[in-house]
Amino acid sequence: MKSVPQILTIQSHVVFGHAGNAAAVFPMQRLGVNVWPLNTVQFSNHTQYKQWKGLVLPPKQIIELTEGIDAIGELANCDAILSGYLGTAEQGREILEAVKHIKSLNPKAIYLCDPVMGHPEKGCVVAPEVSDFLLKEAVSAADYLSPNQLELDSFAGRTPTSLTDCVEMAKKLLTYGPKAIMVKHLNYPGKKPEHFEMLLVTEKETWHIQRPLLAFPKQPVGVGDLTSGIFLSRLVLGNTLLEAFEFCAAAVHEVLLETQKQGSYELELVAAQDRIAHPRIKFTANKL
């Protein structure tokens, strides 16, 4: 019998609500993986409330805690690493050291980098040095990269002119080392406003998927964290890239439907937990 997959997820945590690990860990567990959450920051709530309390945790704890897991003989059992929101660039460098060490123990381990960058218009606060680290250092170490449109633009140094241009921008990122790029949220000239679109790009294939864009008074936070966590979980559970891509589109949509139904600003993960594991709907990706 195959053992339950193990994922180390290194990103932010909020005490109230759902962002970072607080958005990803429970859904990943509900899908059937063991999750090892390691927090880069611990805040009272996510930063789009415009006020929060908390702190950035010391970078050295990342290596210390992974060394502690290694000391009890478990680090080699890590199947995948997910990184997200960083408080400092030094935290990112510690993560890359942890990834390197895990891969030396388990060469089959995979690393998905969710390159969270600052978006002032969204109220997402990220130190400028973190964006520089992601652009210059993290991309070449990642097996998979999951930017949103704004982050893809930052990597490319420009905005797209079309969907085809988005594909070319993602393909350029592949030349730095990742095996696949999943763009979690597309926004380009000519995109239909009623659609939410995503892109999956590998060296040989490109897939595009769309689902209805649900209306909210304020768009919930943590959707990208949820998306990356579900995508990686399905990969370590044995899905192909395409299967994981289609599944996460459906599962995330189910969470948003429940969140809309309850009129909530925070993702309704607990209420939607059965639909995360068993989505009622399916979105089929189109090959471009």
Q: Which residues are annotated as a binding site for ATP?
A: 114, 151, 184, 211-214
What lies within 8 Å, CB to CB, of 188 at 6+ separation is 149, 160, 161, 162, 163, 165, 166
Known binding-site positions: 12, 47-48, 114, 151, 184, 211-214, 225
**Alpha-carbon distance 64 to 94, whole Å?**
10
- DSSP 8-state code for residue 75: G
Known binding-site positions for substrate: 12, 47-48, 225
Q: Which helix (H) or strand (E) holds 83?
A: strand 80-83
Token code pair at residue 59: 């970078």
Q: Closest Cα to residue 100, out of 78, 71, 74, 73?
A: 78
What lies within 8 Å, CB to CB, of 89 at 6+ separation is 127, 129, 130, 132, 133
Longest dimension (CA), the chain: 54
For 182, counting Cβ atoms within 10 Å of its Cβ (0-12 exposed, 13-18 middle, 19+ buried), the class is buried
